[in-house]
Structures are given as C-alpha cells and as structure tokens.
Amino acid sequence: MTDFRDKLPPDLRAKQRTLVHNHNIRIMLTWVGFCSLAFVALQVLRPYPRAALTVAIVALILMVYVALVFIPKADARQCQRIGFTCPSCGKPLYDQSSIHGHKSSLITRGVCPHCDHSLVTTITV
C-alpha cells in the first residue's frame, strides 16, 4: 500500500504528526483512566461484588463513550485550532486509523477524507 504521508506539504505533515501524537495520548489516558477506575472499584468494593461489577461495567461504558464520541470531537477541535483542515471544504483532515485495517484516505491516497481534494504536493524536477 502506498503511504502518502511524506508527500504532504511539510506544514501539513508536521500538523498530522502532532494530531497523531495527541490522539494517541488521549487514547492512552482513556485506557489508563478506565483501568484505574476498574481497579479501584474492584479493590474498594471487594466485599460487595455486585457493586464492584456494576462500577466496572459503568467504567467500561464510559471508556467506550469517551473513545467513540469525546476523542474524535477533541481531535476535530484540535484540527480546527492548529489549522489542520482541508483548504477545499474546511473540514478536519485527521481521520484515525483503526485496528480493523481502516486507514485514513489522507494516508492511503493523499486526499481529504471528506471531499477527496488532493493535498499531495507535486514535485517537478
């Protein structure tokens, strides 16, 4: 598979790196928060297994909500803030890759994930 990341203009490439880094930190903090909450709940509520299980399930639901709703919104806000937006449609360019094989069209084709506007610099020699 072709990787277009290094064919992006240098400023977009730098912003893309920043977004990926911050996105990964958000995911890691969410995961650590979930594990901490579940661990504390299981320790503190050890005499009350039903309550501990309930808190652990609520923590899991909260983690999924944060991962699927809050983090993408935070990514989009950061895109707007640092100017990592499509010059054609103005929408955020960051589109996370997933463990299920989804790769952003920015990476695979060098185009905006929303309108397919090409963002690759053409180098003429």
Residues near Zn ion (CB under 5 A) are: 86, 88-89, 112, 114-115, 117
Q: Which is nearer to Zn ion, 19 or 112 (CB)?
A: 112
Q: What are phi and psi of 92, to 5 degrees?
A: -60, 140
Closest by Cα among 37, 34, 82 to 74:
82
CA distance 2 to 22: 24
The nearest distance, CB 63 to Zn ion, in angstroms, is 31
CB of 91 to Zn ion, least distance (A): 5
Shortest distance in whole angstroms from residue 86 CB to Zn ion? 3
Q: Can you say whether residue 95 is alpha, beta or left, with left for phi > 0 and alpha for psi between -120 and 50 degrees?
A: beta
Nearer to Zn ion, 13 or 91 (CB): 91
CA-based end-to-end distance of the chain: 25
| Residue 90 CB-density burial (10 A; 0-12 exposed, 13-18 middle, 19+ buried) | exposed
Smallest gap, in angstroms, from Cβ of residue 89 to Zn ion? 3
- Other C-beta atoms within 10 Å of 121: how many? 12
Closer Cβ to Zn ion, 45 or 89, answer by number = 89
Looking at the Cβ atoms of 103 and 114, the one nearer to Zn ion is 114
